[in-house]
Chain A
């Protein structure tokens, strides 16, 4: 799959629910949203090899 996060795009090997990927990438589930193939998606959505996944940080400090 292709992973887009923090302005960077990279090939990444992952299969499973999006929330596990969020955790693996060091984010908190409550602080990000996820787009799978350009569509805003539930973090329970299963990710497969051909997906393009974007993790967007939406909750900031302060």
Chain B
């Protein structure tokens, strides 16, 4: 296959736009898409301190590299928060990856662990209670832990490596669980509070496969493998189904994401701040929409 732009050897075909791209033109397209997304959502302002949530997997590592490159042109500060879930060997390798990438780029990092935050690792929690869904628990702890660590580090925003595939899965999951309002806070918090550090997702318009190709082309380590708990997840099932549909009808993921953005806008117009009153969690004091926050409810249910 020849590159649609220059006739060179194509490293990838983008079926949704029917273009073939060589290494150079793929990299150019990819980095432009990232920068355009940062601008589209006004994700980063000059002088801000951005904390990257770094897992050591390909998405967050590519994000770290892209933000690093961008920070050389538009002055903002970059730090990394390396999350240690405590999932044994699977994590250890990724954390080593994450540390090495930070050292190569000269970005300061902090390792934050589930064990220090809630007193147990994900492996402990799952081992002791088979009822608990590891992916839900992991997600809630991760969000809270990153928020806390970012606040402590004085960060203005948390950048996370969510890609287009993740976004589409989230849309489906919220629809399937009949929780459409959760989608409202995907791009912007519903309630502005200094308690919540805003989350940005600069890779949100990029399919996961393209992130992998970018990582491979740039020699970014991708010693990634399957999360040991992925088998439990509805997300994984949705992921495969969406990819099968994408293969048959290229462009579907982008269309779903665009629909979501439009729906989000309409939904935001019909809700007011008063619909979302937050109070302090009776157990931990964190701001929440119910009496007891999601994390405390989950911790109660596993009562280690």
Contact = CB atoms under 8 A, between A and B. Distances in A.
Interface of A: 28-33, 39-45, 56, 58-62
Contact of A40 (B217, B226, B247): B217
Given A56-B216, A61-B227, A62-B236, 12 more contacts: A28-B243, A30-B247, A31-B243, A33-B213, A40-B11, A41-B11, A42-B1, A42-B13, A44-B13, A58-B212, A59-B208, A61-B230
Q: Which 7 A-B pairs have the closest CB atoms?
A: A61-B230, A62-B230, A58-B212, A61-B236, A62-B227, A42-B1, A30-B243
B10 A41 contact: yes
A43 B58 CA distance: 21
Interface of B: 1, 9-13, 15, 20, 23, 58, 135, 165, 207-209, 212-213, 216-217, 222, 224-227, 229-231, 233, 235-236, 239-240, 243-244, 246-247
B195 to A, nearest CB: 28
Contact of A62 (B13, B135, B216): B135
B233 A61 contact: yes
A60 B165 CA distance: 11
Contacts of A56: 216
Given A28-B247, A61-B226, A42 B12 contact: yes
Contacts of B230: 60-62
B252 to A, nearest CB: 10
A59 B243 contact: yes
B247 A29 contact: yes
A60 B222 CA distance: 12
Contact of B233 (A44, A58, A62): A62
A42 to B, nearest CB: 4
B212 A59 contact: yes
